[in-house]
Amino acid sequence: MRGHDLFDELPRTTSACQEAAPDTPEARIRVEYRDLDSLPTDALCVVRGVGAAQQVSSAPLTIDVHLQRFGGPAAEVWYANGPVRAGRAGFVRYAHDDELLVGVVEEDERAHGSLRQAAETLYAAIRKFQQECGFPHLLRMWNYLDAINEGRGDAERYRQFCVGRALGMDKQVGRLLPAATAIGRQQTTHQLQIFWVAARTAGTAIENPRQVSAYHYPRAHGPVSPTFSRGMIAPDGAVLVSGTASIVGHVSQHEGDAHAQLEETLRNIAALTAHASARRGPARQRNLLKVYVRDPTLVPMIAARLQDAYPDASPIFLAGDICRRELLLEVECMQI
Ligand code: 3EB
């Protein structure tokens, strides 16, 4: 079974859905990377890394990410536009206003028999929730799991995760794959944590002209292609860039050379965002960057280069393992 058997209607380098109308008032994305010394009163959701979790959060939804932070702001705050409702439905904790929904599932994978089964079960639960919640359009997803590179060949945990994810997603959400990140933790939690942002209206999925679409990766990278888009133009025109690494075509570049991997990653982000601007109008005002690195001693080098390339971005640096063992770093980006 291949990703493109499951999602064979997906066009290669284009949107799978109708064109988003830029700057419509729906689904306004207001998000900041910031410290939590004074907690904002209009938060929809706070996402925070290891170390910040001791503080009490009064946000309607708080997501504690078990990745060590090595620099940058302590949290990612998604702001509400108007009244918020929060609750729980089965595995899903969520909060939404009238425009956006943030949801999260966090399960001990051992309770589901295997990582693959946990991914399938949780993605099926997310699909069902999304069909019923009034915010059917997935824009962006994050997946965090333990020991992502453990296991050989197709038994590698990342590949097993991809199989379960594709089975659980099914074709119904495959017509418009969200932008995504999938990262491995460097400590054991046994938790499969998935969170996402969804809207009432569809965004526009975009692909990177320098890269083979992940959902068309060849067999060499696993039994089922990863089911995500390279980026999503949200209904309000914000560009949500998936985790981006040193891959050209479908091949990892610059093995063992963090410096060159960073440059290749920045070229990929630039290509994707240029492609997005061509579709949607000029670049947005603000960039937000989140960096995942295997080895935290690389942070000063990466920080210096990002300061140069994106002076406004206040990057968050997190320790994490990338889903291919030869990749040393990955960068995700939001242009809002
Ligand atoms: C890549 O481009 C690097 O499986 O959800 C980046 C972003 C990567 C998301 C995912 C994987 C995912 O293939 C890995």
Taking the centre of ligand 1 as the mean of its atom positions, its distance from the CA of residue 84, in whole angstroms, is 31
The response to whether residue 226 sits with its C-beta less than 6 Å from ligand 1 reads: yes
Q: What is the pLDDT of residue 23?
A: 43
Cα–Cα distance list, 204 to 30, 137, 188 (Å):
18, 10, 36
What is the C-alpha to C-alpha distance for residues 336 and 280, in angstroms, rounded to an integer? 13
330 C-alpha to ligand 1 centroid (Å): 9
| Cα 196 to Cα 123: distance, rounded to the nearest angstrom | 11
Q: What percent of the chain has pLDDT over 70?
A: 89
| Per-position DSSP letters for 276-305, written without gaps between them | HHHHH-SPPS-EEEEEEESSGGGHHHHHHH
List, for residues 251-269, the tens digit of each pLDDT value: 999 999 999 999 999 999 9
Contact 115 CB / ligand 1 (< 6 Å): no
Is the pLDDT at 196 greater than 50, yes or no?
Answer: yes
pLDDT tens for 6-56 read 333 333 333 333 344 444 447 899 999 999 888 788 999 999 988 655 567
pLDDT of residue 255: 98
Q: pLDDT averaged over the chain?
A: 90
Task: Identify whether the C-beta of residue 127 lies closer than 8 Å to the C-beta of residue 105.
Answer: no
pLDDT single digits (tens) 110-146: 999 999 999 999 999 999 999 999 999 999 999 999 9
Regarding the beta carbon of 214 and ligand 1, being less than 6 Å apart is answered yes
How far apart (Å, rounded) are the C-alpha atoms in residues 329 and 314? 17
**Pairwise pLDDT comparison (176 vs 64), residue with the higher score:** 64
pTM: 0.92
